[in-house]
Structure 1
Amino acid sequence: MKKLVLLLLLLFVVQLSNGQQKAHILSLKDSSSFSFVLLPDVQNYVKYDYNQPVLELLTAWIADNVNNLNIKAALCTGDMVDQNECLVPPFPRFGNQTSTQQWEFVSRAFNRLDNILPYIISTGNHDYGYTRAETPESHFPEHFTVERNNQFSNCLVAVYNNRLGVPTLENAAYAFTEKHWGKILVIALEYGARDQVLQWAKELCGSEKFRDHKVIVLLHSYMGSGYNAPLLGKDHYKMTPLNGGKDVWEKLLSQTNNIRLLICGHYAEANENFADNVGFRTDKNKAGNDVFQMMFN
């Protein structure tokens, strides 16, 4: 009997030891390749305290895989919080955290990447006003500054004023150079980017400094789900002016030769079916180049 108990105890210890081993380590098939990591809208991880560990796990995984996946940056499609300025949590449907708690948590979750990796964020409608873009005020610039992450000094090349006339990371461009892709420019745009923001991005892409870069545009709201997903019109929020997906295509993407990829989030179906919450389409710009567009939420 004692031998049986000892055997069971040893088996338990072995299983417990195996359970503490590090998760499977991923690697690139081509060691000379690189990757960007894309995070969808994170609001539902942030607004409930019991969901928050999910986002902490995601940023921890990214930090742990920077070297073996040669990650150049983490991209996020916005809606960093569910309510920008809400003192009483709208539990149960819309969270159990105040806006202050949400902003403090999401800032803390991204702190895992500070001084390790640049993260590029496009603000969403929930990041403005009270709950959904009623006003242009946002707590985003208070928490996501240039100074908090020294990796920005290696790639941040331009910023543009937000709706309050302040230069912030709401409209920002980041440059990278890779062996196979060459020069890359990633431009993050504010939610519902105004005409002057789109013009700034267009001029930046066509400038002597960046006209030979492959450009990726990151913004929150642009298109729906499915293959050949429909472009979205203007959202009807009190904060104005707002450009929708159709406007962004006509005013920026179709007119700019070197924009090759657009990434967005925002759109979602209540059924939580994965296929209904991703979207793809490809269109040709005025130069005849394919512009690949992807929605992931």
Structure 2
Amino acid sequence: MSNRTGTLHVVATPIGNLGDISPRACEVLGSADHIAAEDTRHSRQLLQRLGLQGSLISLHEHNESARVERLTNWLADGESVALISDAGTPLISDPGYRLVRAVHQAGYPVLTVPGPSSVIAALSIAGLPTDRFSYEGFLPSRAGPRQRRLQALADTACTQVFLEAGRRLPATLEAMEHAFGAEREAAICRELTKRFETTRVDALAGLRAWVAGDSDQCRGEFVLVVGPAPEPAVAPAPGLPATDELVRLLRHEGLGAKSTARVLARLTGASVNQLYQQVLEQDSNPRG
């Protein structure tokens, strides 16, 4: 038994541009006793391009459970293991969950070597709200389950992120338009960090028409970012005047814009932020 502490390193690798590999990722991959890779042929090419040697073992969705015991035994012997996927950050729609969980349960350190992620990359350039987001991964391939899943997500009040393959993109956009509405704002992020990287932001109807008119936009790998569902229209409680009239009355009585929004939120149950914007709009466009 070795006196060293075996450590599992979860290492992010480039999603396209090799220049995105970090010096620390190179150091960890170069020094690890073993590298668990989703596809050893793909990963061997990556290591060769980086000028690194490594002892590779496959770990993918079909053999992960069987690999866990061998890898944890290596950790027990004080050896280090680096976990990588074909591209990006492991475990994000890629294998590794069972291994990471088993290593935690066995009491060995799990360290992150962060880096490229298509999800975060797409969010950072889509121009849609990022204060809250939901990662949904790949949708079901069959039309019925896909539509039901999207329908269940239609009222989600935060930005949603999906992964998609080019051959399924037109059908997915059509399903999204049906479930979310033609006017829902979204972004198509294609081939991120690669030569033909493209990002387009539009309503779902516009994106579907754009893709239908240019077959090249169905080539490659995609991240779809869909904006949050619109907030429901403000409706006053029974017996109250219309909201715009309440705004006018409260402002006439000297309440500030934020105070007016907070009072109306308690009366109507609507969002304070939405009401605050309404107050500002009415202030800038007062009735004669």
TM-score tier by shorter-chain length is under 0.3
TM-score by length of 1: 0.26
User: Of the two, which has the highest radius of gyration?
Assistant: 2
TM-score by length of 2: 0.27
Structure ranking higher on relative contact order (CA contacts 8 Å, 6+ apart): 2
Task: Choose between structure 1 and 2: higher strand proportion.
Answer: 1
